[in-house]
Structure 1
Amino acid sequence: MPPQPRPLGGQSPPVEQAPACGVDPAKLCQGEYAIRVKSHIAVLAAPLLTGCGGRHSWLAGAGAEARIIETLFWPFLFGAAVLWLAVMALAIAAFRSRREETRGLVRAIIIGGGAIVPGIIVAALLVIGLVTLRALAAMQPGLSVQVDGEQWWWRVVYDTPAGAVVTANEIRLPRGETAELLLSSDDVIHAFWAPALGGKMDMIPGRTNRLTLTPLTPGSWGGLCAEYCGGAHAQMRFDVTVMEPAAFGDWLAAEAEPASAQALARQDGLSVFLDSGCGACHSVRGTEAAGQVGPDLTHFAARQRLGAGIAPLTDAALRRWITRTQDMKPGVEMPAYPDLSPEALDALVGFLMALK
């Protein structure tokens, strides 16, 4: 075989390589393209899917009202999707129609598909919405709970035959029984929302709004303020604990009692509490502390979280809350006490953690 001529400059001719998947190198393999598209969709969808579960998800369906709202959501989502697709299709058809002989047909399609069909869908959604609202209004509450929004915590008052039972930042409800929440605010507009249990309701100063919740699934469910209310808005949370009716009755009776004898026996811690002026803002029934500015602390240690849900209630978190309050929740009205001696801080924390 005669030798092949070499190109000028002594360079070897370029060698053509076969495409990895055996197709035209000018085109990307369809299989590889599909894999890339699916991977991109998965990456984009992952952050959205993180909101589909957990104690703050309305998809949990832990309450009768939440389940009713869920049955309303899907028809509205489907109807909105159909309307959007129809409008986009009509817009494309109208844009592409250039010939005189097709304009009459396009005009008929726009009137029928752009007005009549959407009107039917919207009317159907209206009927579904009215039926759902009627079902929500039919709930008959047996328990009344007053919830007041403060900057940035929640005052909770149970109305019982024996009198008012006051707590804070935690709501306990009996499973299977409808409770009526009387929602108000003492400062700015807040919004009460426990997504897993029911709908959202504004809390407006000088006005009382009503919201019913019928919890069906025992457990601890998260709630939050859904209306911007100032600097610490994102740290204004609460817990809703759903209990069996008998356990709830026992808890409510215990909550109505004054501070435990075990806590009152810690006189050194109680003295630090009173001498530091904590009783001017906080109330501890059974002691001289009768402040109404801040949360009632009579059974403080029975709560799950600290500072309106910002941290689990532990000794370490409580020490930091007392000495570095603004670091944990900037803007909160409670002053910090960084100058307490180690002995005084130990006594104060021991007293507070005994308030069960």
Structure 2
Amino acid sequence: MHRRLACVFLILPLGACQGWQSALDTHGPAASALEALFWTFLSVLGFVWVLTMGAVALSLRRRRPEGEDPLVTNPRRESRMGWTISGAVALTVVTVLTLTGLSYASQKHLFEKRDDVLTIKVTGHQWWWQVDYEDSQADKRFTTANEIHIPVGEPVLLKLESSDVIHSFWVPSLTGKMDLIPGRQNTLQIQADREGSYRGQCAEFCGWQHAHMGMLIVARPKAEFDGWRDNQIRDATAPQTDERKRGEQIFFSKPCVMCHQVRGTSAGGKVAPDLTHVGSRQYIAAGTLPTTRGNIAAWIVDPQSIKPGAQMPVIKIEPDELDPLVSYLEGLK
């Protein structure tokens, strides 16, 4: 029984070492710098711990001979102990200063910025991420949610803001943490050196559904990214099937249009995620559910059962309205 419990406690820390969201599975310069700093600190402090435990064990083994007067001093031993303590203090100072210098040096990878890069404004809400792609040309700007696409091998500047409480942007495989503070804009530069999807998470407790405030960073080759961006700039495609046309009518007959925007239609809400291309995203509800017909239906019918406290209210949907509405939203790609 004790062995099983010991195995459980030893296995639990390994749960954070998988590649999906791990600070030790790095794919960007900032994250790599942090990983190198982590292993340096671990090695040095581990060595210090071993030396300390060795000194403690040695002191426990070397006892005064029985019958020796404890008040009698040994000048040679006292001098040796004084030098030992002085050396330990000096070594501690050197170790602390060295680690501090390494820590400051690594920050250049976290805070270096370039002006001629793709710029994205990320706004934290309870509990989702608004993503605005900026551009000097107004017709190339667009808004999406919870999913950030970037080109592989190129730095991307993120402007981080919050609309309500303090949030924290953290994609462990690409960069360190940066807070989103109401009334203030912080900046963070990220870069993915390899193609793939990297999960991020709000790292600052921001309310009831803090744990369900995830995001996805999708890094793809430049040509694929440009194609994705061109598609995102376009307005929503008009439904072509009868079922989707009916779903569109249902969508516009409900309060959905008061909160959500679908570009190219009269739905112009700004307080909830933009749905113009929601069907192309891998997840809904800020990384909570994969984008499938069943999950979209469950979210529409009762979002509070999935994400209690979410700002989306329960809207009455008739049984024969659900399938057309799901088809319409799923087709927004």
Calculate the TM-score normalised by the size of structure 2: 0.89
**Given residue 73 of structure 1, which amino acid in structure 2 is its aligned partner?**
F
2:276 to 298, 304, 307: 298
Q: Measure how far apart 1:270 and its partner are.
A: 1.7
Match of residue 210 from structure 2? 233
**Given residue 111 of structure 1, which amino acid in structure 2 is its aligned partner?**
S
Secondary structure in 2 matching 1:272 = helix
Match of residue 126 from structure 1? 100
Deviations 1:188-218 (A, max 9, x none): 0000000011111111111111111110111
- In structure 2, the CA distance between the partners of 1:91 and 1:103, relative to structure 1 (3 Å rule), is farther
CA contact (8 A) 2:124 2:167 kept: yes
Match of residue 55 from structure 1? 20
C-alpha distance in 1, partners of 2:215/2:111? 25
**Given residue 219 of structure 1, which amino acid in structure 2 is its aligned partner?**
G
Match of residue 10 from structure 2? 45
2:28 paired with 1:66:
no
2:164 to 177, 187, 194: 187
Match of residue 334 from structure 1? 312
CA contact (8 A) 1:151 1:229 kept: yes
**Given residue 32 of structure 2, which amino acid in structure 1 is its aligned partner?**
R
2:219 to 236, 242, 246: 242
Q: Measure how far apart 1:93 and its partner are.
A: 6.2
C-alpha distance in 1, partners of 2:233/2:182? 27
2:114 to 135, 140, 144: 140
CA contact (8 A) 2:129 2:145 kept: yes
C-alpha distance in 2, partners of 1:305/1:343? 25
C-alpha distance in 2, partners of 1:264/1:62? 42
* Structure 1 stretch displaced more, 44-53 or 279-288: 44-53
Cα RMSD, aligned residues only: 2.3
**Given residue 106 of structure 2, which amino acid in structure 1 is its aligned partner?**
T
Q: After superposition, where does 1:243-282 map in structure 2 within 5 Å?
A: 243-262=220-239, 266-282=244-260
Deviations 1:64-91 (A, max 9, x none): 2111111111111122223334445556
CA contact (8 A) 1:94 1:106 kept: no
Match of residue 49 from structure 2? 84
Match of residue 108 from structure 1? 83
**Given residue 285 of structure 1, which amino acid in structure 2 is its aligned partner?**
R
Q: Measure how far apart 1:112 and its partner are.
A: 1.4
Structure 2 gap ranges (5+)? 65-69
Q: Measure how far apart 1:92 and its partner are.
A: 6.2
The total of aligned residue pairs comes to 318
Q: Percent identity?
A: 37
Deviations 1:14-35 (A, max 9, x none): xxxxxxxxxxxxxxxxxxxxxx
Match of residue 221 from structure 1? 198
- In structure 2, the CA distance between the partners of 1:133 and 1:97, relative to structure 1 (3 Å rule), is farther
Secondary structure in 2 matching 1:262 = coil
Q: Measure how far apart 1:177 and its partner are.
A: 0.2
Structure whose alpha-carbon radius of gyration is higher? 1
Deviations 1:113-155 (A, max 9, x none): 1x10011111221222232222444453611110010000000
CA contact (8 A) 1:90 1:110 kept: no
CA contact (8 A) 1:167 1:295 kept: yes
- In structure 2, the CA distance between the partners of 1:201 and 1:280, relative to structure 1 (3 Å rule), is same
* Structure 1 stretch displaced more, 93-102 or 194-203: 93-102
CA contact (8 A) 1:63 1:216 kept: yes
Q: Measure how far apart 1:53 and its partner are.
A: 1.7
Q: Measure how far apart 1:281 and its partner are.
A: 0.4
Q: Measure how far apart 1:97 and its partner are.
A: 6.7
2:327 paired with 1:350:
yes
C-alpha distance in 2, partners of 1:272/1:214? 41
Q: Measure how far apart 1:45 and its partner are.
A: 2.4
Q: After superposition, where does 1:153-164 map in structure 2 within 5 Å?
A: 153-163=128-138, 164=141
**Given residue 263 of structure 2, which amino acid in structure 1 is its aligned partner?**
R
**Given residue 25 of structure 2, which amino acid in structure 1 is its aligned partner?**
A
